[in-house]
Amino acid sequence: MFFFDPLYFLLALPGLILTIWAQWRVNSTYSKFSQVPNARGITGVQAADILIRQAGLQGRVDVQGTPGKLSDHYDPRKRTLFLSPDVARGASVAAVGITAHELGHAMQHAQNYGPLNFRMAIVPAVNIGSKLGYAVFFLGFCLAAQAQGSSVLMWLGILLLSGTAIFSLVTLPVEFDASNRAMKMLEQSALFVPQELQGARTVLTAAAWTYVAAAASTLLNLLYYISLANRASRR
């Protein structure tokens, strides 16, 4: 009965559709703009070098390669930009745009940007909560179904799972801000002509939608568990 709950599909479906659409959009946008060479022939690694100097972060941010496609990220613990092969070595509009975005995270870190610090601080708790949350919830669900106990354990599971939702929500300002910083950096650097700036913006906007989709899915998922606990509480 639990797995055929129509409410689950009602709540999960919008998140799933949004996620599939956002993934398709980021992939197709990236495919397009990774084929568009930038006029100056600058690779991601070269752009990182120029933009790090422009931001005054020389010696404070390292640049390394990482395998995969669209696996680019900034690791605050290592103070390192990890660039995927196509971004590191590609001289495309997408490569430089994505590099600037990752450097935006490094700037957030260097400037103690609040939402990034908050996100970093809650990571350990979120990891524990997401591992224990489902187990606690399902234990509570089984006990409540057998009318042996209250729904307290279910609510505890939801509390543990809510960390993931908070994480995905606080990721939104972090990502939007990194892209805003990237666009400002690119405008100031004169690395890009206006048309290329527009291309970079398109790629970064498409990437931002994947985070919106993830946050929506996580919240809708949590909402479903809240509705289950609510029903159990009323019994």
CB nearer to Zn ion: pick between 78 and 131: 78
3-state SS assignment for residue 79: coil
Q: How far is the CB of 205 from Zn ion (least distance, A)?
A: 13
Task: Write the interaction track for Zn ion spanning residues 171-210; mark x where CB under 5 A is met and - where it is not.
Answer: ----x--x--------------------------------
Q: Which of 102, 175, 187, 196 is catalytic?
A: 102
Q: How far is the CB of 178 from Zn ion (least distance, A)?
A: 5
Sheet of 80-83, strand order: 62-65, 80-83, 73-75
Q: Tell me whether residue 196 is one of the annotated catalytic residues.
A: no
Q: How far is the CB of 16 from Zn ion (least distance, A)?
A: 23
Compute the C-alpha angle 110/96/59, nearest 5°.
35
Binding-site size, Zn ion (CB under 5 A): 2
CA torsion 67→73→75→79, rounded to 10°?
Answer: 100
5-64 residues in contact with Zn ion (CB under 5 A) are: none
Question: Exposed, middle or buried, 111 (CB in 10 Å: 0-12/13-18/19+)?
Answer: exposed
List interacting residues with Zn ion (CB under 5 A). 175, 178
